[in-house]
Amino acid sequence: MDEEQRAPRLALRDISKRFQSVVANDHISFSVAPGQVHALLGENGAGKSTLVKIIYGVLQADEGQILWDGRPVTIDSPHQARGQGIGMVFQHFSLFEAMTVLENIALGIDNAPDLKELADRIVTVSRKYGLPLDPSREIHTLSVGERQRVEIVRCLLQNPKLLIMDEPTSVLTPQEVERLFVTLRQLSDEGCSILYISHKLQEIKDLCHHATVLRGGRVVGECDPAVETARGMAQLMIGSELKQLVRRAGSVSAEPRLIVENLTVPSTLAFGIDLKGISFEVGAGEIFGIAGVAGNGQNELTQALAGETTLHRPSTIRLDGKAIGHLGAEQRRMHGLCSVPEERSGHASVPEMSLAANTLLTARNRLGLARQGFIQPTEAQDYAQRVIDEFAVKAAGPSANAATLSGGNLQKFIVGREVLQSPEVLIIAQPTWGVDAGAAATIHQALFKLAQNGTAIVVVSQDLDELLVVTDRLAVINLGTLSPSIATAEASVEQIGLLMGGLHGMEGEAADRGSSKHVG
């Protein structure tokens, strides 16, 4: 024990990494003790991802030293990292949809034994850690939580001494998060160190022994999350006082502005989700939330609402009484329905084009940025400038390419582009996904103001915390069906969490309960 304390499992000494003019990591030092659950806390762009990529050998540091069990090492590749006993679960999974769990794991580990033996080991490891997995299931039949299990089991099969988890809970239901924490605590008890990357403060308080806070590529603080308040950590992370959101005095009109009635859309994609009989209403001035775990039909629903998918029956979607279900995206926009798709780059914007040109995507007819088929360059420039000014978008100007903006700034621009058109109805997907707290506050404030002026807003989000703050009412989408709606003020996290697990979780749920008993 003494010896272990003298030599941390992993120690970083003055790690620096530059990308051209951007310093992603600036002399970062910290150490992780054996068995410690160590939080790496920071906003998007704070340098967390770069740092863990360096530890996992995906990137190489420009300067600095990595000590492993007290000895300096160079980690040139993920293969070498795994050889040292470092495992990593990425935020985005790398699994082949059409292959089985077993095949995917066999492809992803070094020196895989023969498949039969591997299948046995998968079952043993998954039992031991309460991560039930059937090796013969094909990936596309698994929920997102189950897919994450595949990735975790893949790491555990190599007996890691350090497990890196990059934002593991962003795709999980609250219940799944609890279950994951049981597993992680068990690993920690067995002496496996865990480097846990997150910006969710409550989770870090619940799980982690120690936290290192990064901001702008530097270590700005270390703390014991059990002692430090969430607010204190947030301020360390953001570097300034948190802005308080001003919620409007609720004046939701009873008259529904947007009525969706029995919306059914069969999926056109191989592993897509069919939308089945979705109905809801949103009043003027109301913010309606749609919660759910990723991949349960949110994209399909957003596209059907926005008009990227058109419907046969016009009356399926009605806006102020007008049937618009058969209309395409631009025609719906002309009727006052604007939308913000989830994917900022390549869907909500064209990265290779200027911000001014990007305003033409949705505002060309509504705001007359094009007339008689001709683009009005000055008007487009002016509108882009207005969005930049009113939403405090950090950009070189209206002529800057969308690709040059950071994620948060691009999102502010895209949201601003729609909000300043004062639509009657706004459909917005993942409004603050991967966006820093400052930008998120700006966006939420803009939605409040828009609602105040009578816009009916639909927010589709995986972030339950966000929905609880922003919405008046919410419903949960699960496998293409929408639950009845609940008033947000009366909703509990548990209730929503269970709906998020929905029918889809049933088999896994039963199996999980059995094995968690077995474990704990």
Residues found near other proteins in the complex (CB under 8 A): 20, 76-77, 79-80, 106-107, 109-112, 306-308, 328-331, 333, 339, 341, 343, 346-353, 357, 360-362, 364, 370, 373-375, 377
CB nearer to other proteins: give 337 or 437: 337
Measured from the CB atom, the residue of 107 and 506 that comes closer to other proteins is 107
- The smaller minimum CB distance to other proteins, of residues 276 and 347, is found at 347
Taking the complex as a whole, the smallest distance from the CB of residue 430 to other proteins amounts, in Å, to: 14
- Rank residues 307 and 408 by Cβ distance to other proteins and give the closer one: 307
Residue whose CB is less far from other proteins, 107 or 511? 107
CB of 38 to other proteins, least distance (A): 29
Which CB sits closer to other proteins, 63 or 330? 330
Structure tokens at 247: 């919620």
Q: How far is the CB of 404 from other proteins (least distance, A)?
A: 9
The smaller minimum CB distance to other proteins, of residues 307 and 501, is found at: 307
Q: Kindly state the smallest distance separating residue 397's Cβ from other proteins, in Å.
A: 17
Give least dist CB 370 to other proteins, A.
5
Bridge pairing between strands 456-460 and 370-371: unpaired
Q: Given CA atoms 34, 223, 40, 214 in this order, what sign does their dihedral have? A: negative
**Nearest distance, CB of residue 142 and other proteins, angstroms:** 21
Q: Which residues pair with 23 in a beta bridge?
A: 18
Q: Which is nearer to other proteins, 16 or 80 (CB)?
A: 80
Non-local CB neighbours of 518 within 8 Å, separated by 6+ positions: 127, 130
What's the order of all strands across the beta sheet hosting 275-283? 275-283, 256-265, 317-319, 322-323
Least Cβ distance, residue 401 to other proteins (angstroms): 10
Residue 506 CA: distances (Å) to CA of 499, 509, 511, 513, 520: 11, 5, 9, 11, 21
**Cα–Cα dist 513/498, whole Å:** 14
Q: Which is nearer to other proteins, 112 or 252 (CB)?
A: 112
Q: E strands of 205-255, at which residues? A: 210-215, 218-223
Q: List the one residue out of 436, 459, 435, 437 whose CA is nearest residue 447.
A: 459
State in angstroms the smallest separation of the CB of 264 from other proteins: 20
What is the three-class DSSP state of 397? coil
Spatial neighbors of 500 by CB under 8 A, at least 6 apart, are 173, 174, 291, 292, 293, 464, 476, 478
Three-state secondary-structure class, residue 400: coil
**Shortest spacing between CB 240 and other proteins, in angstroms:** 32
225 vs 431, beta carbon nearer other proteins: 431
- The number of CA neighbours under 13 Å toward the Cβ of 130 is 23
Which of residues 82 and 209 has its CB atom nearest to other proteins in the complex?
82
123 or 350: CB nearest other proteins: 350
Neighbours of 229 (CB within 10 A): 12
Give the C-alpha separation, 61 to 73, whole Å. Answer: 12
Radius of gyration of the chain (CA): 24
- Rounded to whole angstroms, the Cα distance separating 277 from 261 reads 8
Element (H, E) at 426: strand 425-429
Contact partners, residue 240, CB within 8 Å, separation at least 6: none
Rounded CA-CA distance 408/421 in Å is: 20
Q: How far is the CB of 342 from other proteins (least distance, A)?
A: 11
Nearest to 9 by CA among 92, 67, 93: 67
CB of 178 to other proteins, least distance (A): 34
Closest approach of other proteins to the CB of residue 345, in Å: 8
